[in-house]
Amino acid sequence: MPIPMPSIRRSRSMVLAVALALTGTAHGGGLSLVAKGDAVFVCSTVVERSYGPPVQSRPMRVDSHEPVAFDLGALPPGEKDDSPQFRRLTLRCWPRAPTDFDAEPREGEASYSIGLLRDDSLWKLGGANGAQDYWPPHDRRMVRFTLEPTGDPARPLHIVNASALDEAHGSRDYIVPAGWLTLDPD
């Protein structure tokens, strides 16, 4: 007997609720990462804010089995549905073999990262009549990235899908330009 699958909208809502609950950030911003296929990575984040110390996550294993939620810290929304405190999100990852369950980066191990500034085009969503909405991370919004290997040993991973979920607006997909969101060697 086949197992019924939840709708995509319901699944995204469940991911938001679970991710916010797991991170303990009922009011903070979050990033949810999942890997495509059998890819495995260890990833961490750093959020730079307009004031105060950066918010750095501990490294966590990311695979295709379930999304991993990172707390981005307090990013209160401003007048334009963004957070004036958000300056930059840096995502750093280390590729892993599927059989390697170590979630800590190793000394001298190659890492790859991408920095997304407050005004990066990723945070803009196309709307009706060419209008654009601006959706950077902020409190009560969960940004979700899907990571995938590129096949290029020099730049082995990239973000292939990006979306955002928030309590007020539901789910929206970001437009990911081809090749633009490849993580670079550190």
Do 113 and 186 meet the contact criterion of CB atoms below 8 Å apart?
yes
pLDDT at 135 over 50: yes
Residue 85 clears pLDDT 90, i.e. is over it: no
**Residue 178 counted as domain residue:** yes
- Residue 139 has a pLDDT of 84
Which has the higher per-residue pLDDT, 6 or 97?
A: 97
Residue 80 lies in a domain: yes
Structural domain includes residue 104: no
- Residue 35 in any domain: the answer is yes
Portion of the chain with pLDDT greater than 90, in percent? 35
pLDDT of residue 126: 57
Is residue 159 domain-resident?
Answer: yes
Q: Judge whether 129 lies within some domain.
A: yes
Amino acid symbol at 38: D
Residue 2 lies in a domain: no
Please write the tens of the pLDDT for every residue from 150-186: 989 888 999 998 888 877 777 777 777 665 688 889 8
Q: What is the pLDDT of residue 180?
A: 63
What long-range pairs does 128-136 form, CB within 8 A, spacing at least 24? 133/81, 133/172, 134/80, 134/81, 134/82, 135/81, 135/82, 135/164, 135/172, 135/174, 136/82, 136/83, 136/86
| Domain extent at residue 24 | 8-99+109-185
At residue 19, does pLDDT exceed 50? Answer: no
pTM of the predicted structure, to 2 decimals: 0.79
pLDDT > 70 in the chain, percent: 77
Residue 125 has pLDDT above 80, yes or no: no
Domain count, the chain: 1
Q: List, as one string, the DSSP characters of the chain.
A: -PPPPPPHHHHHHHHHHHHHHHHT-SSSEEEEEEESTT-EEEEEEEEEESSS--EEPPPEEE-SSS-EEEEEE-----TTSS-TTEEEEEEEEEEE-TT----SPPTT---EEEEEETT-GGGEEE-GGG-EEE----TTEEEEEEEEE-S-TTS-EEEEEEEEEETTTEEEEPP--TTTTBPEE-
Q: What is the pLDDT of residue 78?
A: 76
Name the nearest CA neighbour of 157 among 43, 32, 57, 15.
43
* Within-domain flag for 168: yes
pLDDT in tens, 21-32: 444 444 578 999
What's the full length of the chain, in residues?
186
